[in-house]
Structure formats: structure tokens, C-alpha cells
Structure 1
Amino acid sequence: MRGTTVLPGTPCVTPSNGQPPVHRLEIRLPDDVPFAVGTFDGIGPLSRADFPHRHTFYEIVHVTRGSGTHVVDLTRWELSPPHLGLILPGQLHHWENAQGLDGSVVLFTPEFLVDHPGDQELLRRIGDHPWLRLDPAAHARTARLIAELTEEYGHGDAGFATVLRSLLHVLLVRTARLGAPEGPGREQPPQGRHTAVADAFARLLARTGKDGAAECPRSVRECAEWIGVTPGYLTEAVRAALGRTPGSLLREARTQEAQRLLARTDLSVRQVALRTGFDDPAYFCRFFRRETGMSPGHFRKHHTEHGAEQHAKHRSKHRSKHHDRRAASIEAEAGPA
């Protein structure tokens, strides 16, 4: 499973160099199914974690009640339920001032999608609109699907993993529709080899290391070599499938990862440059200013006041014995809801 799942009782990845903790998904024995679903209470306290952390897996949240804010990377989503949200592997997120939070959580790894490889493209599309407010009809449909997932997961009957994958596929298809443009120009999923190459490129940009941080490729040529196509064909395929050039998407991915590291870690600018594929810190600073309009130092000063407050709060909790035990637990205390 390429290290994305762990046996019950395995601790989370130990943070280093000021990095936030990285949570992995506990597999269900004896089936080794990298999937979990349940209520916030059923999944466990870390489903409401108020300190920044990353996952090595996908998380879908269906919020039915509560107030507060869900923070993903540098974007703040105010709660006004019902909502349906998606957190991608490697994204930094936490809940802030959450009161009365209720609903369901669906957790799964990329490997779980083996029966439906097209679901990677659906997740990419949902990631373009990752936080949706549901109308009554969409809310009811979503609740029914998640209830079926919960029932199937809880019973664990023969073939339940295949049923879970099928139900999850339906959930992803319907969620992707909610975030798609409306009208005669409604986006249609691209087909053929262009789609496969664009999917591979998107997975490459979303790739994370063992500590959950993004591993940004350095160039379009490097991406093309990894995928096994020419840079020209990669540009053609990505433009046809996604409507943008791979160069612009790569710059965006590197910029976003640099922003995450500057705002949420204690890494120096030189260390952030190296982590995002820049050997020359001065060139990194010029790149960052060109992409964001401000220097790395100015960005960190502007965006870390709130982050420092959260970090101090987390460190205070971490010193307590209770939090020490919880910090060593798995994000998904996987079990029947």
C-alpha cells in the first residue's frame, strides 16, 4: 500500500523541523481495507482536531450541524450547514472554534480506488470546488449514500469492500456534478489518452513524501520524464483536459506549498526554498514575489499571526498527558459507526 496505511496502534508520523503532524489511515483487519466511515464521534476526537495537520489519505466531510470555521491551507470556510467538503492528501487543515459539530466523515486512500481509476479525475474536479453548501435535495441524497456506506462498512459482509467502492464512486460522481459549471457550456470529463496523461500529471503534483509534505517537481520536463511522454505532448494533453498549461499548474503547486510552509511551519526561507525544489534561495524569493506579489518574509509576517496563536495553543495541549496519548493515535480510529 506504498506506506499510506498502517496497522492498528501504529503512531502518527513524528513531526520534525517544526512540521505539523501527519496522520495515516488505520486499516481494517482482517480485510486490510484502507477505508473508514462514521460520525465525528465514531471516527474519534482527531476528526475535530483544532491544530494544523496533514493526511496521507482523502477525507470527505458531510457537516449537518454546528458553527465555526474549517481552515484548509490558507482558505477559511465558515460553517453554515449542510456542507460537503473534501480534504486532499497533503493539505494542511484544522477546525477552529467548532461548536456542536455533527455529521459524517469518509476516509480512504488513493489505493482504495482500484476498481474505479476514473475516480482520481473526479476527486481532482471536486478539489476545484472543495467546500459546497448543499440544497435540501442534495443534502438528502448525500445523507442516504453515506448512510449506506456506514451500514455496509459496519456489517462487513462478504464482498463489502467492492460495495463500498461502488457506493463511494456514486458519491464522487454526484459531488462532482454539484461543483460543475451550469448551462449549455457545462464541463464534460475529457476522454482518451489525454485524460490518462492529465490524471498522471495531477497525481504527480499531489504527490507527498513520508512526512506528508508535497514533493513538488522542478520542471515540466521532469514531469514529462516521470510520466513517460514528451514535454510537448504533456502540454497538449494537460491543456486539452484541464484547460491550462502544465507550467502554470506546476508554478501554482510550488507556490501553494511554499505558502503552506511559510505560514504553518518554522522552516527558514532557505529550507522552504529547498523543500519546494529551489537550490538558490534568492531565485526562490524572486519566484515567490512574482507569483504572490510579496516577499516570503512579508507573506510569513502577514499570515502567521493567527497560525502562531494556533501553534501555541497546540503546544500547550501537547504538554498534557491526555494530548500526548491522543497525538500518538491514528486519525481514523476505524470501527463501525
Structure 2
Amino acid sequence: MDRLRNTRLPDLPLHRLEVPLPHLLPFAIGTFDTIGPLSRAAFPHRHTFYEIVYVTGGSGSHVLDLVSRPVEPPQLCVITPGQVHHWAGAEELTGHVVLFNEDFLLPHADDASALRALAARPGHPAGEQAAPIAALLADMGGEYRELRPGYQNVLRACLHILIARASRTPGSTGSPSDAPAPACDRAAEVASAFGRLLCEPGGARWAVGWYARELGLSAGHFQTLVRRATGRSPGSLIRQQRTLEAKRLLSGTHMTIRQVSHQAGFADPAYFCRFFRKETGMSPGEFRNRAGRNHHDPRIESIAAHPDGP
């Protein structure tokens, strides 16, 4: 049963989560086959939701924000809202697909930061976590299908454990805490909220003042808290995200440079070209040509999915 819906943006599809009855949760789990053909989409697209994929078989590559990694089962892939991804040359993909919205993470708010850290790479080998992850997903699938009393709470608890297991896979940097952050850790709380807002698909704003107002802070206090938590200014993180959004549009759509400029929030295409060259060392046109030929060019991958962001 198809649980994904394709909404067209200018040349870049946006997939939204639709959960069929009797489920009323912002959550779904299944296989590549039961989730539907969009779970194997070979064209660049983005989501409004989180996706965790546990690949148990098949071949090809997973491309996430311009970075490509061969499919090497068993392998875990995490995609967060706003990221652009697709499966390249994929054949006979098998495994589990878990889909959920931000609301499903509310009992464990720190899990969102762990997922963003995991999504800094297009794939993680399961390693010694393979058997526990497989057993956990099988249990989650049973709870989802059988609708036993209290299954919603079981699914939320299992998802929290799954994210913790994923954070133990080789090369992972995600590390959800065992307990909520202290109430006094305001800087980490603000930086996490800023990170979520910054990555929202189609909802990005490019002014520090907008984010400060959205979070109920003065611009100065907002800048102080974000720098304390991340070591970077909000402006530098916005520039990074803005450049990444431009790269996504240049590599994943047929939009003109002027259209990309407008979509990335630049009123003047000439200024956009100067900004992009300063951030990447390439003109938008050169980047598009290189991205179309080789996803492994280090200059193409240089800004894709930084794990040290908010």
C-alpha cells in the first residue's frame, strides 16, 4: 500500500506522509514493496518527514544531498526533512522502511538531533548492530500490523531504541542522550530548534532576525546562544544551508540559474552567482555541469550534510 504522496514543487518533487486507516499516527513501517514504488524513487526528491531505511539486499547507490554511497547490505540510511535523495541504479532493493513526522519524536526530543547527525552520510554499515536492528524492526512491524493494545507507546519506545542502535553503527556520530537535556541548557535547546527550522523543506528563511523572532528571542541573545552551542554564528549556518539548497536545486532540477536564485532567496541573480562562487569556488553553471557528471567530486560534496551543524 502506497503511503507516500508526491507533491510537485518547481521541478523538485516533495513527498508527504499519508497514513491509511486504521492508523491515526504520523508513523508507518513496511517493506520497500508495501510502502510503495516511491520508496525506491530513482529521481531526486525531498520529504516533509523522517525516513529510516534498513537495506537487507540489493545493489546500486544511495545519493543523499549530492553524496553517493554504494548499497552494501546490511546498511542503514537516514533521511531528514528537507534533504534531497534518490536511489541510483538500484536493483532488487529489500529491507524495512520507517516513516514518521516530527510529532512522533515528541517524547524524546533529542532524537531529532541524533537523526540529523546520522543523515550527514548517505549510509551506515550495520556492523554488530545488524541483528538487534533486524529484531527491533520485526517487532515494530508486528505491532503496527496487529494493533495490539498500547501499540502506539510500543512503537514510540522502539523508535527511540532504534535511533540509539543506529547511533552505535560504525562511523555514526549521532548520540541521543539517555535523559532530557537540563532545563538550564537553553543554548542547546535553541540551537536544536534553529536546526529544525533551518532544514524545513520549502520553509527556509534567510535572515537571522526571522529565526530569532520565530524562537521568541532578540537577535543578539539568539546569536549568543547558537554560537555557544555550535561554535558558529547563525549567519554562517544560514549561508551553509542556503548554499546547500542552491546545490540541491542546481543538481536535482532543470530550473534556470535565475529560478534557482529566486528559490534560494536572492533577488539579484548576479549577486547569487557571486555568493555561490565565494562559498564553493565555482559558478552555478560549473557546479551543475560537474554535479551531472560525477557525484564524487570533492568540491561537489564539500557542503553536503555537515554533521557539525545545529
Asked if TM exceeds 0.5, the reply is yes
Is 1:12 aligned with 2:6? yes
Q: CA RMSD in A?
A: 2.4
1:152 deviation in Å?
A: 0.8
1:22 partner letter: L
In structure 2, how many angstroms separate the alpha carbons of the residues matched to 1:123 and 1:101?
22
Shift of 1:50: 1.5
CA distance in 2 between counterparts of 1:16 and 1:195 reads 33
Asked whether 1:224 is paired with 2:207, we answer no
**Aligned position for 1:316:** none
Does the C-alpha gap of structure 1 residues 116 and 243 become closer, same or farther in structure 2, counting only changes over 3 Å?
same
From 233, 236, 240, the equivalent of 1:252 is 240
2:144 aligns with 153
Separation in 2, partners of 1:303, 1:180: 27
Query: C-alpha distance in 1, partners of 2:180/2:71?
Result: 30
Q: For structure 1, which runs of at least 5 residues remain unmatched after alignment?
A: 1-7, 183-187, 210-214, 308-337
Looking at both structures, which has the greater relative contact order when contacts are Cα pairs under 8 Å and sequence separation is at least 6? 1
SS of structure 1 residue aligned to 2:217: coil
Structure 2 residue runs without a partner (length 5+): 296-310
Q: In the alignment, residue 163 of structure 1 is paired with which amino acid?
A: V
How far is 1:130 from its partner?
A: 4.8
8 Å CA contact retained: 1:28, 1:35: no
Runs of 4+ more than 6 Å apart:
none
Deviations 1:42-92 (A, max 9, x none): 222221122222222111011112211111121111112211110111222
Change over 3 Å in CA distance of 1:41–1:181 after alignment to 2? closer
Pair 1:142–1:10, CA change in 2 (3 A):
closer
Q: What's the offset of the Cα at 1:272?
A: 1.2
- Give the aligned partner of residue 304 of structure 2: none
Q: Which moved further from structure 2: 281-290 or 216-225?
A: 216-225
The aligned residue for residue 308 of structure 2 is none
Residue number among 169, 174, 182 corresponding to 2:165 in the alignment:
174
Q: 1:100 to 1:273 in 2, by over 3 A?
A: same
Which aligned pairs between 1:34-183 and structure 2 lie closer than 5 A? 34-135=26-127, 137-178=128-169, 179-180=172-173
TM-score by length of 1: 0.78
Contact 1:56 1:89 in 2 (8 A): yes
Residue by residue over 1:304-336, the C-alpha shift from the partner in whole angstroms, topping out at 9 and shown as x without a partner, is 3579xxxxxxxxxxxxxxxxxxxxxxxxxxxxx
Name the CA shift for 1:189/1:253 in 2 (closer, same or farther; >3 Å): farther
1:275 & 1:190 partners in 2: Cα distance?
A: 36
* CA–CA separation in structure 1 for the residues paired with 2:287 and 2:241: 17
Q: Is the 8 A contact 1:28 1:34 kept in 2?
A: no
User: What is the CA–CA distance in structure 1 between the aligned matches of 2:86 and 2:254, rounded to whole Å?
Assistant: 18
3-state DSSP class of the match of 1:99?
A: strand
Hey, what's the Cα distance between the residues in 1 that align with 2:41 and 2:237?
30
**Are 2:262 and 1:274 equivalent residues in the alignment?**
yes
Deviation of 1:231 after TM superposition, in Å, equals: 2.7
Question: 1:266-305 counterparts in 2 under 5 A?
Answer: 266-305=254-293
2:13 aligned to which of 16, 21, 32 = 21
User: 1:97/1:10 Cα in 2 relative to 1: closer, same or farther (>3 Å)?
Assistant: closer
Pair 1:255–1:58, CA change in 2 (3 A): same
CA drift of 1:221 comes to 2.4
TM-score when normalising by structure 2:
0.85
For structure 1, which segment, 36-45 or 234-243, has the greater mean C-alpha deviation from structure 2 after superposition? Answer: 234-243
Cα distance in 2 for partners of 1:81, 1:103 equals 9
Kept in 1, the 8 Å contact 2:4–2:36? The answer is no
Q: Structure 1 residue 204 and structure 2 residue 197: aligned?
A: yes
Q: Distance in 2 between matches of 1:306 and 1:142?
A: 33
Encode CA deviations 1:242-268: one digit per residue, 9 max, x unaligned: 333322211110000001111111222
- Contact 1:53/1:94 (8 A) holds in 2: yes
Aligned-residue offset at 1:129:
4.1
Compute the displacement of 1:115 (Å): 2.3
Q: Percent identity?
A: 47
1:112 CA displacement:
1.8
Aligned partners of 2:52 and 2:77 also within 8 Å? yes
Could you say what secondary structure the match of 2:124 adopts?
A: strand
Deviation of 1:37 (Å): 0.9
Deviation at 1:21, TM superposition (A): 2.2
Q: Taking structure 1 as reference, are residues 257 and 189 closer, same or farther at Cα in structure 2, changes over 3 Å only?
A: farther
